[in-house]
Amino acid sequence: MKHKLWGFAYLLWSTGKSDPRKGIHALKTALALTLVSIFYYVRPLYQGVAGSSMLSITTVAVVFEFDVGGTIYRSFNRVSATIIAGFLAIGIHIIADRSTKEVGHIVHGTTVFLIALAATFARFIPAVKSRYDYGMLIFICTFTLITLSGHQIGKLLEIAIRRSLTIALGSSICVLVSMVIYPIWAGEELQLLLAGNLHKLASSLEVFMVEYFEKGDHELKNKESIQKLISGYRCVLSSKASEDRLASLARWEPPHGRFGIKHPWKSYKKVGVAIRYSASCIETLHSYLKFEENIRAPESIRNHLSSAFMRLCFCSSSTLKELMNSMKEMKKSSTMGDLVANMNYAEEELQLALKTLPNLIIRLKLYKTSNINNSGMENMSSRFVEVVPLVTVSSLLMEISTRIKSINDEFNDLARDIFTDEIKEREEVC
Mean local confidence (pLDDT), 322-344:
83
What Å distances lie between residue 199 and 232, 236, 328, CA to CA? 9, 10, 10
Residues 6+ apart with CB under 8 A from 9: none
pLDDT at 22 > cutoff 80 = yes
Fold of 186-429: Methane Monooxygenase Hydroxylase; Chain G, domain 1 (1.20.58)
**Euclidean distance between CA atoms 134 and 248, whole angstroms:** 13
pLDDT tens figures, 399-413: 888 888 888 888 888
Residue 8: per-residue pLDDT: 76
Reported pTM: 0.78
Which range is least confidently modeled, 223-237, 253-267, 403-417?
A: 223-237
User: What angle do the packed helices 68-97 and 153-180 form, to 10 degrees?
Assistant: 170
pLDDT at 289: 67
Span 8-14, mean pLDDT? 76
Give pLDDT tens digits for 95-154.
877 777 777 778 888 888 888 899 889 889 888 888 888 889 989 888 888 877 765 666
N- to C-terminal Cα separation, the chain: 71
Residue 375 has pLDDT above 50, yes or no: no
pLDDT reading at 221 higher than 80: no
Does the pLDDT at position 60 exceed 70? yes
pLDDT at 218: 44
376 pLDDT above the threshold of 60: no
Angle between helices 53-63 and 68-97 (to 10 degrees): 130
pLDDT at 425: 47
Look over the chain and give the mean of its residue pLDDT values, rounded to a whole number.
76
Q: What is the pLDDT of residue 126?
A: 85
The pLDDT confidence band at residue 331, using thresholds 50, 70 and 90, is: confident
The highest-confidence range among 281-295, 336-350, 357-371, by mean pLDDT, is 336-350
The residue with greater pLDDT, 161 or 274, is 274
What is the rounded CA–CA span in Å between residue 333 and residue 422?
A: 13
Whether 246 and 196 have beta carbons less than 8 Å apart is answered as: no
Domain extents for the chain?
18-180, 186-429
- Average pLDDT in the 307-328 region? 85
User: How crowded is residue 381: how many other Cβ atoms within 10 Å of its Cβ?
Assistant: 12
Of 146, 139, 141, 137, nearest to 89 by C-alpha is 146
Please check whether residue 138 is in contact with residue 164, taking contact to mean a CB–CB distance below 8 angstroms.
no
Alpha-carbon distances, residue 389 vs 79, 170, 282, 283, 313 (angstroms): 60, 62, 15, 15, 17
Picking from 63-72, 135-144, 325-334, which range would have the lowest pLDDT averaged per residue? 325-334
% of the chain at pLDDT higher than 70: 73
Residues found in the chain: 430
**Among residues of the chain, what percentage have pLDDT more than 90?**
2
When pLDDT is averaged across residues 365-373 and rounded to a whole number, the result is 46
Kindly report, residue by residue over 172-212, the tens digit of the pLDDT. Answer: 888 999 888 888 888 888 888 888 888 888 888 877 777 66
pLDDT for the residue 241 = 86
Q: Who has greater pLDDT, 333 or 357? A: 333
Q: Residue 44 has what pLDDT?
A: 52
